[in-house]
Amino acid sequence: MTTLANRGRRNRRSHPERGSILIMVIWICLGLVALTLYFANSMSSELRAGDNRASEVSARQAVAGGARYAAYLLGQFATKGTVPLRTDYKSEDLQVGDAAFWFIGRDLDQTPGSDPTFGLVDEASKLNLNTATRAMLEMLPGMSAEVADAIVAWRTRSQAGGGDSTYGRLEPPRLNKGGPFESLDELRLVYGVTLDLLFGEDTNRNGVLDDNENDGERSAPRDNSDGLIQPGFIEYVTVYSSQPNTRASGARRLNIGSAQSRPQLAQLLQRLLGPQRTGQIMGSLGQGDIRSIAEFMVTSRLTAEEFAQIRGEITTSNGATVQGMVNVNTASETVLACIPGIGPENAGALVAYRLAHPDVLTSFAWLTQILDRNAIVRAGPYITDQSYQFSADVAGVGRSGRGYCREKTVFDMTSGTPRIIYHQDLTAYGWALGLRVRQSFQDSRENRT
């Protein structure tokens, strides 16, 4: 009996011990499950992060491919000052592996909508900060006389070497650069220029009205929610536009600006147009100086066909290049309105004529259909019909709409071969491809799930 009693007491003592062990085992199992779930979640997060990093890399590679494609297009379609037509190339949703890229462009003949226009941008379609007059700059949207004066003063070299008086009168006094603008970002150094003046409502610089740019003060930037995009003046200016002062053969063009060049001009006209027509043209020119190619065109009464033959042979400048001319075949109504002789009263008519007659945009001979002789003579020193600098604003998106990159590259075609003269990463400005492209990615993800 004693033995049985002792055994019973030992069994009663072992039950709590076994219960404690069971509880400890359960806690250990729960801990292991928690660790397993934690590491599984970490691995899943790392996998998603790695996939996103890979998507970003693919987007950047797509953008690099877009820049190379732009160089190829310019080499094919932008020779001798011509501007590539949108119908010559594809500009949106071009695939590079699992990624794709777009050229963010501008439709200069239409009112901007909610989705971007895609294509290359002609830099000669804008005012050049280094050559535009104070009066031309003042015509830009949002521009004040004080800011226009500060821009001109920034680039003006002082004769005494002590800086421009506009900046010297500031407190404390500042020195202006006294040299040409090298990039648009340099405008941030100009006195009085603010981000609101530069970008307006178009803070992502894509030329269209995005949702956050039409919601008042609910999100940046501040806007008037009127359903219309109000870009800053950076939209209409450049520092890159210039054209070579040489013929297709590489020889210098004939400067016909002064009366002393008339004998050489007569020889050129005889070779191209014959002696009878040469006599008529030389009689129309007289002995006065000629300030621009456009003035020569209207004074000599050349036909569009005759002007096309002689256009690449003549100039009114002695420089190796001609800086800052605005291409009237591609400039927007806003830019055209800034040019003397055209102004706001004629800019709309020029844009309307371009839309109705796209086949005549190989030169500016069509200007005679809208402007009178005096207007063309006034505009002549500021206008051209050739372009040699183009920008490719390339936005890339990685696989499944993840990963985004945007870079702007400016190409120079002066030598006939595309040469990169400027490059800028614009990714930080945010999504610039508009609602339609974003929605297409969302729809594709939903269809896969």
Whose CA is closest to 376, among 302, 431, 428, 446? 302
Interval 26-58: pLDDT, tens: 888 888 888 888 777 777 776 676 777 888 899
Q: What is the 3-state secondary structure (H, E, C) of 317-364?
A: CCCCEEECCEECCCCCHHHHCCCCCCHHHHHHHHHHHHHHCHHHCCCC
Interval 344-403: pLDDT, tens: 999 999 999 999 999 999 899 999 999 999 999 999 999 999 999 999 999 999 988 889
Per-residue pLDDT at 5: 54
Of these ranges, 141-145, 158-162, 217-221, the one predicted with the greatest mean pLDDT is 141-145
**Upper half-sphere CA count for residue 221 (Cβ side, 13 Å):** 22
CA distances from 410 to 70, 120, 203, 266, 434 (A): 10, 10, 20, 39, 23
Per-residue pLDDT at 26: 86
Say how far apart CA 21 and CA 37 lie, in whole Å.
24
Whose CA is closest to 390, among 417, 409, 407? 409
Residue with tokens 């001319």: 325
**Residue 14 pLDDT grade (very low, low, confident, very high; cuts 50, 70, 90):** low
How much is the average pLDDT of 218-247?
A: 85
Whose CA is closest to 63, among 349, 427, 373, 310? 427
Q: Give the residue with greater pLDDT, 217 vs 100.
A: 100
Burial class (CB within 10 angstroms; exposed 0-12, middle 13-18, buried 19+) of 212:
middle
Interval 172-200: pLDDT, tens: 888 889 899 999 999 999 999 999 999 98
Per-residue pLDDT at 151: 95
Interval 386-440: pLDDT, tens: 999 999 999 999 988 889 999 999 999 999 899 999 999 999 999 999 888 888 8
Instruction: Report the chain's terminal Cα–Cα distance, integer Å.
Output: 73
Token digits of residue 312:
């690449």
Model confidence, pTM: 0.87
Token digits of residue 135:
């009066």
**Residue 441 pLDDT grade (very low, low, confident, very high; cuts 50, 70, 90):** confident
Q: Give the residue with greater pLDDT, 216 vs 186.
A: 186
Largest CA distance in the chain: 148
Per-residue pLDDT at 221: 74
Q: Is the pLDDT of residue 449 over 70?
A: no
